[in-house]
């Protein structure tokens, strides 16, 4: 089993070695063994492997239109998987969900982070001022 986790303001993928209640031992996609707090785990998945997963997630991130995501998001707080489902029109694959998460994370002008994997769209006035 694999996972996507948040570390140092970015996202990394790895292979789960051991899974305890509060932490996991993980082999990162670069071969380093790390201890990951369970609270930083954003997504668990069975396939593809972490390197292919990150490549696919980055492709989704690069293709996702931030302005369109903002329009689709409405005005209430939401989870990244919910927005990914709305954006793609089907239950998102792990790389699709991760790609949307990465796009949201990299667009603080459009989306305010409200918690682990949760965001709120910026009000139209704030977004217009930020773009000016």
Cα–Cα distance, 51 to 124 (Å, whole number): 37
For the stretch 27-69, pLDDT in tens is 988 889 999 999 999 999 999 999 999 999 999 999 999 999 9
Under DSSP, the state recorded for 47 is: S
- What SS3 class is residue 32? coil
- Which phi and psi (to 5°) does residue 56 adopt? -65, -40
Task: Give domain limits for the chain.
Answer: 2-131
The per-residue pLDDT for 94 is 96
pTM: 0.90
Q: For 11, which DSSP code?
A: E
Q: φ and ψ at 97, to 5 degrees?
A: -60, -45
Tell me: pLDDT of 132 over 80: no
Residue-wise pLDDT for 86-129, tens only, equals 999 999 999 999 999 999 999 999 999 998 899 999 998 888 88
């Amino acid at each position: 089993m694999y996972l996507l986790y948040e570390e140092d303001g970015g996202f990394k993928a790895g292979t789960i070695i051991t899974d305890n209640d509060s932490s996991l031992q993980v082999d990162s996609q670069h071969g380093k063994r790390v201890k990951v707090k369970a609270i930083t785990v954003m997504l668990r998945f069975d396939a593809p492997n972490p390197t292919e997963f990150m490549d696919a997630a980055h492709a989704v991130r690069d293709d996702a239109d931030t302005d369109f995501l903002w329009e689709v998001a409405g005005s209430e707080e939401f989870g990244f998987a919910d927005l990914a489902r709305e954006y793609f029109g089907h239950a998102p694959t792990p790389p699709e969900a991760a790609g949307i998460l990465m796009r949201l994370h990299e667009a603080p002008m459009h989306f305010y982070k409200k918690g682990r994997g949760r965001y709120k769209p910026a009000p139209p006035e704030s977004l217009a001022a930020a773009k000016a």
